[in-house]
Every structure is written in structure tokens, then in C-alpha cells.
């Protein structure tokens, strides 16, 4: 087990380097001059050259990359924004909780929606419920998340006025200047974003849960449990669900990792200034350090969650744990 962990962590390190190098390379392949954007529209060529020098953009790529790595490892710093020299660390730590609220909340909602529907569908295949559920799955997979977000925002926010259209409120440490804060406001503002993200994602999960439950139900050990005289509820809980939901949880973990990299569409529609919004902005402004920061956060999240999920699976499934 320890060997496995060590090997995974080493591999994670390799992945991390690979991701950051690729980001750097792509950035520099794009034909645009960040110094120019940073200096401003009205800047003279001399001024632009000065900015280039200041930002270190005249150095060769590998020197810039090496500098970035050194800074990260020894100072723990992701650098400074090209645009306003603010700390990237600060920006990430500000934006991350917003994205995290969105993602975790939405995923809980996904489980709440998809697991019961998936189980019921599996228990009654080809019934009316099942057909409705499968139509929902189709819609969920096909509809773009931003479209759903816009529609929800229009109907519930604008027309009915039940929820706010946009904006984020802090749960804890509410800043002085904010006009909303605390748990109630936070949840109130997040309801629609959660729904938008969850409705789309849940489609995939309903199908997945249904397939896993249907498959598990035909297993021989379920028949054995019934042959022992176990009531159907016990069979469902101890035998079917315990085995069927295992893969679902692991996929969920990986999805969380992915989405933490920035649910760009949802964040944009609802004006949530999380990592997604930050990423879009930094791309538009050719702000490499900030972009790199978001990418790194996303990569770390994915690697971390994949690792957690693998460990969880190994812990829960004795066949993996004990060999």
C-alpha cells in the first residue's frame, strides 16, 4: 500500500511538471504581446520595451520557466500578475472558495437527484418512470450548461424574481463593503448556480447509477442473499447498493477534481468571480502568471482527487486492499 502511494505521488509530481510546461509553451506560442497589453493602449514603443524588460519577457522561455519553478518551490509563490503586479496567490485564494462552493454544492445535489432516480429506474426497467428518466438523461447530456444556466436565470431570477440573478456572497469573514453575507445569503445566491450545474451533470449519473444497479442486481451473491431469507430492503442496502455505488462515488470524485479547475460557463452566467472567471480574464489579458496559477490549481485538484478516489476504492474494496 505504501509503495503504491509513493509511486502515485512521484507520478503526480511528473504530471505536475508536464502540465506547467505545456501551459508555458502554449502561452508563448500565441502571437500576442502581453507587455503591450500591460503597458496600455497609449503606450509608446519605448515604454512597451521597458515593461517587457520588467516582466522578464525578454529572457528565453526556459529561464522564465525555471524562474517560475524556483519561486514556486522555495517561496511558495505563484508569482505576480502581469497586469497589476498583484500576488497570484491572493487571487487564487480569493477565487477558489467560490468555485469550491459551487462545485461541492452542485455535486451533493447531483447525488441527491441521480441516486434515487437511478435506483428506481433500475428496479423498474422500461416502466413510465424509467422512460422519463432516460429522456432526462438525454436532455442532461445534450443541453449545454450555459443554456440551462441562462434559462434558469431568466425564469427564476428575472421573471419570477425568486432568486438573485447574479453575484456571490461570502459565508464567513464577510468583508465590510459587502451588501450581503452569512449563510442564508450565500445559499440563496448559490441555489440557481447549483441547480444549473447539477441538472446537467445529474443526467450522466442517473444513467450510470441505473446501469450499475441493474448489473449488480443480476449478480449471484444477490440471489444468495435472497436464498437466505433476507428481506428485500436488506438485500438492497447491504448487497446491491454497497457494490453498485462504489464506482459511482469514484467517478464523482474525479468529476469534482475536474470541475474545480473552473466551471467557466456557470460562473460567467451568474457573475461568480471564481477560478473560471479569473481564467477567462487572464487569457484575455495575456496575464500568464494568473493563468498559470489557475491551471496549477486545477491540475493539483484533479491529481489530488484522483488519488483520493483511488485510495478510497482500495480501502472500500477488500479485493484491491488485500492483494
Which range in 34-42, 178-186, 235-243, 299-307 contacts other proteins by CB under 8 A?
Answer: 235-243
- What one-character DSSP code corresponds to residue 262? -
Give yes or no for residue 128 binding other proteins (CB under 8 A).
Answer: no
Binding mask 170-209 for other proteins (x = CB under 8 A): ----------------------------------------
Alpha-carbon span 122 to 159, nearest angstrom? 37
Give yes or no for residue 6 binding other proteins (CB under 8 A).
Answer: yes
Classify residue 56 as left (phi > 0), alpha (psi -120 to 50) or beta.
Answer: left
> Cβ of residue 268: shortest distance to other proteins, in angstroms?
43
Give yes or no for residue 40 binding other proteins (CB under 8 A).
Answer: no
In sequence order, what are the beta bridge partners of 87? 80
- Rounded to 10°, the helix 182-217/128-142 angle is 120
Alpha-carbon span 252 to 111, nearest angstrom? 9
Contacting residue, 20, 23, 163, 243, with other proteins by CB under 8 A: 243
Contacting residue, 221, 237, 249, 315, with other proteins by CB under 8 A: 221
Give yes or no for residue 231 binding other proteins (CB under 8 A).
Answer: yes
Give yes or no for residue 223 binding other proteins (CB under 8 A).
Answer: yes
Burial class (CB in 10 A: 0-12, 13-18, 19+), 73: exposed
Give yes or no for residue 159 binding other proteins (CB under 8 A).
Answer: no
144: which residues sit within 8 A by CB, 6+ positions away? 200, 265
In sequence order, what are the beta bridge partners of 62? none
Alpha-carbon span 263 to 279, nearest angstrom? 10
Contacting residue, 59, 130, 170, 317, with other proteins by CB under 8 A: 317
Alpha-carbon span 21 to 60, nearest angstrom? 14
Name the residue nearer to other proteins (CB basis): 109 or 235. 235
Give yes or no for residue 3 binding other proteins (CB under 8 A).
Answer: yes
Name the residue nearer to other proteins (CB basis): 209 or 245. 245
Name the residue nearer to other proteins (CB basis): 159 or 228. 228
Amino acid at each position: 500500500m505504501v509503495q503504491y502511494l509513493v509511486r502515485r505521488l512521484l507520478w503526480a509530481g511528473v504530471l505536475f511538471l508536464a502540465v506547467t510546461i505545456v501551459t508555458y509553451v502554449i502561452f508563448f506560442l500565441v502571437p500576442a504581446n502581453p507587455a503591450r497589453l500591460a503597458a496600455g493602449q497609449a503606450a509608446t514603443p519605448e515604454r512597451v520595451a521597458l515593461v517587457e524588460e520588467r516582466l522578464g519577457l525578454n529572457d528565453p522561455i526556459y529561464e522564465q520557466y525555471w524562474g517560475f519553478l524556483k519561486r514556486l518551490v522555495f517561496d511558495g509563490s505563484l508569482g505576480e500578475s502581469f497586469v497589476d503586479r498583484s500576488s497570484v496567490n491572493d487571487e487564487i485564494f480569493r477565487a477558489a472558495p467560490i468555485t469550491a462552493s459551487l462545485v461541492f454544492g452542485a455535486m451533493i445535489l447531483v447525488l441527491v437527484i441521480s441516486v434515487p432516480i437511478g435506483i428506481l429506474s433500475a428496479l423498474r426497467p422500461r416502466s413510465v418512470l424509467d422512460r422519463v428518466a432516460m429522456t432526462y438523461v438525454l436532455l442532461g447530456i445534450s443541453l449545454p450548461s450555459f443554456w440551462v444556466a441562462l434559462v434558469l436565470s431568466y425564469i427564476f431570477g428575472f421573471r419570477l424574481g425568486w432568486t438573485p440573478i447574479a453575484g456571490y456572497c461570502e459565508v464567513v469573514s464577510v468583508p465590510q463593503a459587502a451588501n450581503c453575507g452569512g449563510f442564508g445569503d450565500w445559499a440563496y445566491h448559490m441555489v440557481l448556480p447549483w441547480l444549473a450545474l447539477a441538472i446537467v451533470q445529474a443526467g450522466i449519473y442517473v444513467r450510470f447509477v441505473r446501469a450499475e444497479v441493474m448489473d449488480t442486481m443480476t449478480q449471484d451473491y444477490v440471489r444468495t442473499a435472497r436464498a437466505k431469507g433476507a428481506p428485500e430492503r436488506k438485500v438492497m442496502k447491504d448487497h446491491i447498493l454497497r457494490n453498485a455505488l462504489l464506482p459511482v462515488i469514484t467517478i464523482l470524485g474525479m468529476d469534482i477534481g475536474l470541475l474545480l479547475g473552473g466551471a467557466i460557463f456557470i460562473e460567467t452566467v451568474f457573475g461568480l468571480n471564481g477560478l473560471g472567471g479569473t481564467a477567462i480574464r487572464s487569457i484575455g489579458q495575456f496575464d500568464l502568471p494568473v493563468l498559470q496559477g489557475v491551471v496549477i490549481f486545477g491540475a493539483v485538484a484533479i491529481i489530488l482527487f484522483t488519488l483520493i478516489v483511488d485510495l478510497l476504492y482500495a480501502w472500500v474494496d477488500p479485493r484491491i486492499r488485500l492483494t
